[in-house]
Amino acid sequence: MYVEKTELENFRNYKNLVLNFNSKVNLVLGKNGEGKTNLLEAIHFGFTGMPLRFATIKDLLRNENPEGDTRGLALYSRVNLEINRNESKDIISTRIVEQKRRVFLNDKPATIKSLSPFQSTIVFTPESLSAVKEGAAQRRRLLDEIWMTVSPLAGEILNDYQKALVSRNKVLKNGIKGGLSRGEQKHLLESLNHSFLPLATEVSWGRIQAATRALNAANEAYSTLLKGNAVDLRVDYSISAQSAIDWSKNQVYDCLVSRLKELQATEIQVGASLIGPHKHDVRFFVNGKDARVFCSQGQQRAVVLAFKVAQARLHRTCRGHEPILLLDDVFSELDSIRREQLLLLLCERRGQMVLTAIDDSVPAGQFGSDVSIYRVHKGQVT
Ligand SMILES: Nc1ncnc2c1ncn2[C@@H]1O[C@H](COP(=O)(O)OP(=O)(O)OP(=O)(O)O)[C@@H](O)[C@H]1O
Ligand SMILES: [Mg+2]
């Protein structure tokens, strides 16, 4: 499966764009601020209906006014993706109308959920590659994405957990504001905990399994990135500062229940849920040492790259076809050896890739004859 053609209208800094893609390697080059990431974001938005960065749907509407004045804001935006799946064609059209998202599949109204057979993108962004040193949310996201690749139910469970968390937080917050009596709050929390705890267990367990399943492939990829040097890459899932990577599902549940007992009084005081997978962390170890403390920035990026490459391999195994890789500026901060080795790992694959890079920082020749090069300048592509 690959994106054969994309059409953009009023998306970020693109007024109108029609672009044909190669089924293999598509290299998007340009200087800073020309529209490389915006183009990748358009593909991601087309498949998932979600912005790539911490942005709202409204931020995606083209704004002609450089100061961001809303008078320059487009009223309508559209990303069309023409998908080639085993030589049959489908068109996904993701639009923003009256600041709301609308999705169409082959001209018929559709939902994001109905696009799941097409959702095969794996995104490498500079933010995701800094997961080792950045916030725990990025590290959890890395495992969630691997989990969603290997389990068709993961996305729904994560959504359900998010909803359960929002309801629980609302009850806790209402208690502080005086909107609920202590008795009412206790009663509501007890009933919410019945669904919250099993969902919290499923999410934590899903992440533990995802980390364990990806580990072998991540070790192989990490060793290739280091040009065959032997390394021992490990991952740990941490629940309330305890190592949980080897826990059974029951152990996870029991730990969450006992933490809830310990912390519920504090939760009521602060008005927020203090237990659950939104509080867990992920740690990476290289040759037994904590990567966050001991690895350089480039080495930390290589750790995440290794897990992303592992995710791509698991995608092929679990779904029977190659994912589409979207790589945003991943070559900066890697030295020439890791850069070459990453290219080697990417070139082994048969699937489609769209990569961005600052002008000529990527040796395009390494991709052989399967590469199309696009140059972006001020929202125009040549
Ligand atoms: N909604 C919008 N309307 C118009 N322009 C926008 C909008 N959102 C972002 N831009 C502009 O689009 C331009 C290109 O952004 P983009 O992130 O794609 O750059 P880039 O080519 O990836 O640069 P870099 O190499 O620095 O990562 C930026 O100048 C940004 O201000
Ligand atoms: Mg960019």
- Of 281, 324, 327, 319, which Cα lies nearest the Cα of 301? 327
pLDDT at 68: 67
77 lines ligand 1 (CB under 6 A): no
| pTM, 2 dp | 0.92
Q: Whose CA is nearest to atom 25 of ligand 1?
A: 32
- Fold for 1-120+325-382, please state it: Rossmann fold (3.40.50)
Look at residue 349 in the predicted model and tell me its pLDDT: 80
User: What is residue 331's DSSP assignment?
Assistant: S
**Which residues are registered as beta bridge partners of 82?**
5, 91
* Distance separating alpha carbons of residues 145 and 141, to the nearest angstrom: 6
Question: For a pocket test of ligand 1, which of 11, 15, 16, 34 has the largest count of ligand atoms closer than 8 A to its C-beta?
Answer: 34
Q: Which among 270, 203, 283, 269 is positioned nearest to 238, based on CA atoms?
A: 283
How many angstroms is it from 225 CA to the middle of ligand 2?
23
Spacing, Cα 279 to ligand 2 middle (Å): 30
CA–centroid distance, 32 to ligand 2, in Å, is 7
> In which element (H, E) is residue 148 found?
helix 136-150
Fold of 126-320: Glutathione S-transferase Yfyf (Class Pi); Chain A, domain 2 (1.20.1050)
Residue 14 Cα to ligand 1 middle (Å):
9
User: Residue-wise pLDDT tens for the chain (382 aa)?
Assistant: 999 999 999 999 999 999 999 999 999 999 999 999 999 999 999 999 999 877 899 999 999 886 767 788 899 999 999 999 988 999 999 999 998 999 999 999 999 989 988 989 999 998 888 899 988 999 999 999 999 999 989 999 999 999 999 999 999 999 888 888 889 999 999 999 999 999 999 999 999 999 999 999 999 999 999 887 888 999 999 999 999 999 999 999 999 999 999 999 999 999 999 999 999 999 999 999 999 999 998 889 999 999 999 999 999 999 999 999 999 998 887 888 888 888 888 888 889 999 999 977 777 777 777 889 999 999 999 9
Atom of ligand 1 nearest to the CA of 61: 1
Report how far ligand 1's centroid is from the alpha carbon of 10 (Å).
Answer: 13
Asked whether 32 lines ligand 1 (CB < 6 A), one says yes
Spell out the domain ranges in the chain. 1-120+325-382, 126-320
Closest ligand 1 atom, residue 60 Cα: 1
Residue 326 is predicted with a pLDDT of 96
Mutation test of ligand 1: which of 8, 13, 56, 380 has the most ligand atoms closer than 8 Å to its C-beta?
13
CA dihedral 333, 338, 343, 346 (to 10 degrees): -100
Q: Is the CB of 13 under 6 A from ligand 1?
A: yes
Region class of 60: left (phi > 0), else alpha (psi between -120 and 50), else beta: alpha
Sheet strands side by side (includes 242-243)? 242-243, 233-239, 281-286, 289-290
